[in-house]
Amino acid sequence: MTENAQPIKVDIWSDIACPWCYIGKRKFEAGSGLFAGGGDGRGVEIEYHSFELSPDTPVDFEGGEAEFLARHKGIPEAQAQEMLDRVTGIAASVGLAYDYDHLQHTNTVLAHEAIHFAKAHGKQLELTERLLSAYFLEGRHVGKVEELSALGGEVGLDPDALTAALESHEFLGAVRKDQQTAAEYGINGVPFFVIDGKYGVSGAQEAQTFARVLEQVWNTRAEAEEVSA
């Protein structure tokens, strides 16, 4: 293909409160970087989509993350803590310092609405990264309008406009549409990557796996173009 080739579209379903989504984000970024390093115009275009792992979560959850996980999965709190310790170690391996001692578990629907607002203003990727960092690394409360508006301002969004959009739930319909599409695809866990609208990859795969899938899609597209030429 040429330098004018179209990038591969990657649609990612994720949740701000999903630890594997942030880990998967880092691994996908590394994998897409390996893929792009092959030249010939290789590149990806990313769009995030809403998925709520626990839509019944209260905005203000009283208790720690191990307690929430124990309740949610119906397991002993000690086992839940072991799971958190494991994911913390995996996060560290991709440069993310998860801070479960200060994490504020919350309902994420407003965060998803904020990400759709950011998408409408060309800042979706920036706000997605900012909210994941705020939630997992900084102990910020991403379930509140004022906090989301402040974080949006940090990536160049208009805080007042974001506040108005969140208070009116202007983008709630877009969130629900994403969730409906996930159901139609049969997505029941995140992160989930839909590549070129045809190929699904589930979970926080290794960078090399993502790079290999992208390369396969690229080559399949090139072969199809040669046949039709």
List the structure tokens of 129. Answer: 């990264």
List the structure tokens of 195. Answer: 């590549």
> Model-level pTM?
0.94
pLDDT score of 18: 97
pLDDT score of 184: 96
Beta carbons of 143 and 59 less than 8 angstroms apart: yes
* Residue ranges covered by each domain of the chain: 24-203
Identify the segments of the chain with pLDDT beneath 50.
1
pLDDT score of 224: 81
Contacts of 80 (CB under 8 A, 6+ apart): 66, 67, 69, 70, 73
- Interval 150-188: pLDDT, tens: 999 999 999 999 999 999 999 999 999 999 999 999 999
pLDDT score of 229: 59
- Interval 34-49: pLDDT, tens: 999 999 999 999 999 9
Q: Which residue has the tokens 């960092």?
A: 133
Beta carbons of 151 and 140 less than 8 angstroms apart: yes
Q: What angle do CA 177, 181, 186 make, to 5 degrees?
A: 145
Domain 24-203 class, CATH top level: alpha beta
